[in-house]
Amino acid sequence: MTEINRQIVLAARPEGEVEPRHFRLVETPLAPLADGQVRVRNHYLSLDPYMRGRMSESKSYAQPQPLDEVMIGGTVGEVVETKHPRFAVGDKVVGMFGWQEYGTSDGTALKKVDTTHVPLSAYLGAVGMPGVTAWYGLNRIIVPKAGDTVAVSSAAGAVGGAVGQLAKAQGCRVIGIAGGEEKCRYVVDELGFDACIDYKQNNLRDDLKAAAPKGIDGYFENVGGAVLDAVLARMNAFGRIALCGMIAGYDGEPVPIKQPQLLLVSRLKLEGFIVSEHMEVWPEALKDLGTQVAQKTLKYRESIAQGIERAPEAFIGLLKGRNFGKQLVKLI
């Protein structure tokens, strides 16, 4: 019996908002495994904002996602068949198999992980790309000192939640920005931030002033747009901004920075980064993050959609900020 691999391919490039019609579910029979190959049953697919950029043809930091090919994405799963000396059936692995139920690989970029103390799905979140993203932006760009005030947008998300907890552990005052009362409660009560501002209250500037009375020394940006403008006005001299995402402008028109002179007036340092270009920090960062997750000092939450067919709708929800913590798709 030939197994069927359910996959989601890019059917069309969005001009503005992403819609379900931009994706297509296809069923592909699995080819027999060749020598040197390993087959993985994916358990979880990671959904991340960067995928929106890949769907367009405009200038981005990476090649666009080809049409009619399986959508790119990080996955964790279990080896179910192997003709590769380094992998055994039952091995848990993290890889980049994309939006599909099975992955076949020659072992390149496939990494075995230990799930004794860290749940498999965490390797897509706090102990994976989002965690290292948080770690890099905080420790290599913001470089906070104890007593600094650090702010982060998308604070209830996988990256933002980690940024705040890591900064808090370094003795900073930590301000989150998130959408909605429930997310803000989670950020303060469960993640331990000092304050969280609900940007949907449309009172960002005053709320920031109240939450960060001494100004903001470090800012980790995931959204851009009006949130960035408001934070810029509160940045202290010599503040550092790690520019990780600008989700506010991903659909349609870019959102301007209205008062760029603040970058000069406050002598700010701003740096855009992509964590996959800084592989040199991954071992140190993953070790640090894995230890903190195992000891439960680094907390996270997951939004899990069930089944590959739900991936498009979950991804659209992520772009609209409907997720709560790390957005995953359970594939099994």
268 in contact with a copy of itself (CB under 8 A) = yes
User: Binder to a copy of itself among 144, 245, 290, 325 (CB under 8 A)?
Assistant: 245
274 in contact with a copy of itself (CB under 8 A) = yes
Is-contact 72 12, C-beta < 8 A?
no
213 in contact with a copy of itself (CB under 8 A) = no
26 in contact with a copy of itself (CB under 8 A) = no
Q: Cα-Cα-Cα-Cα dihedral of 146, 151, 156, 162, to 10°?
A: -40
What is the residue type of 203? N
Q: Cα-Cα-Cα-Cα dihedral of 88, 90, 96, 102, to 10°?
A: 110
69 in contact with a copy of itself (CB under 8 A) = no
Nearest of 332, 315, 330 to residue 52 by alpha carbon? 315
Contact region for a copy of itself (CB under 8 A) — 17-25, 76-84, 91-99, 270-278? Answer: 270-278
Q: Cβ of residue 159: shortest distance to a copy of itself, in angstroms?
A: 14
Q: Cβ of residue 141: shortest distance to a copy of itself, in angstroms?
A: 9
Of residues 272 and 307, the one with the C-beta less far from a copy of itself: 272
Q: Cβ of residue 140: shortest distance to a copy of itself, in angstroms?
A: 12
User: Binder to a copy of itself among 83, 92, 269, 299 (CB under 8 A)?
Assistant: 269
d(CA 151, CA 221): 8
Q: Cβ of residue 185: shortest distance to a copy of itself, in angstroms?
A: 30
Q: Annotate 152-183 with DSSP letters as a single string.
A: EESTTSHHHHHHHHHHHHTT-EEEEEESSHHH
Nearest of 177, 217, 216 to residue 198 by alpha carbon? 177
Of residues 35 and 277, the one with the C-beta less far from a copy of itself: 277
254 in contact with a copy of itself (CB under 8 A) = yes
What is the residue type of 156? A
Of residues 193 and 219, the one with the C-beta less far from a copy of itself: 219
User: Binder to a copy of itself among 94, 184, 195, 228 (CB under 8 A)?
Assistant: 228
Q: Cα-Cα-Cα-Cα dihedral of 119, 94, 98, 292, to 10°?
A: 50
Is-contact 151 218, C-beta < 8 A?
yes
Q: Cβ of residue 213: shortest distance to a copy of itself, in angstroms?
A: 16
Q: Which residues bind a copy of itself (CB under 8 A)?
A: 53, 59-61, 224, 228, 237, 243-246, 249, 254-274, 277
